Amino acid sequence: MSIFFSISESIRSMAKARIATFLSVTSISLTLILIGAFVMASINLHHWINVVRQKIEMEVFLNGGVDKKNIEEVKTRIINARGVKQITYVSSEEAARRFEKEFGENIYDVLSFNPFPPSFIILMEEAYHSPQKIEQLKIALEKIPEVDEVVYQKPLIDYIDHYINLFYIGLLVISFIVVIIAVILINNTIRLTIYARRDIIQIMRLVGATEGFIRRPFLYEGIFQGLIGSIIAAALLYYFSRIIEMFFYPDIVYTYQSFLGLVIFGVLIGLCSAFFSVGKYINKI
């Protein structure tokens, strides 16, 4: 009974302050569209970077005079090293064939001997895709006596790591700013509706309403504004993603959970801003 009363009061209140409510819902929608777009961009970027990182190889060159028995031992030690997912042996002859395939010239014609040492090509586990972990693995492998040199595409990894961090920090800062803007607008809407409803607030106090009972409709109002704004944002983002998927980029990654998360986030923004503005303004009535 009390819930129905509070809900009907909040609907009545939103209807009374239509323009403020519209502005508030619109601002929540725009905020969440922006945040949702950032989240989707981050998920897709993360996915793309993972694909790139999975292709990053580490090459372990062995000393020239290593015999076959030693190679087997080294192989076992590399396989047992932490972070190694897959290992491929490349003999000196195989390396020479690859050179010829890649550059179109036989190495014996160029140098009259085969300079390529035997090597292992390693693919790392996902947890070993960060620059620090790759470097740890490199150091560990270099400690094997038969290993001459360990190389990987360090500049590429450092480049990805540097710019990805900048990108995430940028997104975080922009998201924080737009959330603050939305909170200010909701705060303002609730302030206006409290002012518009000062008569009923005074009367409810006089007839013995508890402060919690008086505040509840405003909290529901915040929740409704957040819910409506976030459903609009989630729906628009979903159809936007579908359009991108159909016409521009079929590999786009999006999950239904992320849209649900957006709606929950919108409701929380609405509830929190209403909670704080009611606490701030209702005692002035």
Partner 1 sequence: MIQFFNVNLSLNNKQILRHITFTLNRGEFVYLIGPSGAGKSSILNMINFSLLPDSGTVIINQYSSAKIRLKQIPHVRRSIGIIFQDFKLLSDRNVFENIALALRVQKKGRTEISRRVLKVLTDVRLGHKRNQYPRDLSGGEQQKVAIARALINEPFILLADEPTGNLDPASAIEILDLLEEINRRGTAVLMATHNYALLKKYPHRVLSIENGDMVNE
Contact residues for partner 1 (CB under 8 A)?
1-2, 5, 12, 16, 199-200, 202-211, 213
Residue nearer to partner 1 on the CB measure, 9 or 24 = 9
Residue 198 beta carbon to partner 1: minimum distance, rounded to whole angstroms: 11
Residue nearer to partner 1 on the CB measure, 19 or 207 = 207
Residue nearer to partner 1 on the CB measure, 16 or 85 = 16
Residue 36 beta carbon to partner 1: minimum distance, rounded to whole angstroms: 37
Residue 215 beta carbon to partner 1: minimum distance, rounded to whole angstroms: 12
Buried residues in 213-242 as b, exposed as e (16+ CB within 10 A): ebbbbbbbbbbbbbbbbbbbbbeebbeebe
Residue 243 beta carbon to partner 1: minimum distance, rounded to whole angstroms: 44
Residue nearer to partner 1 on the CB measure, 13 or 31 = 13
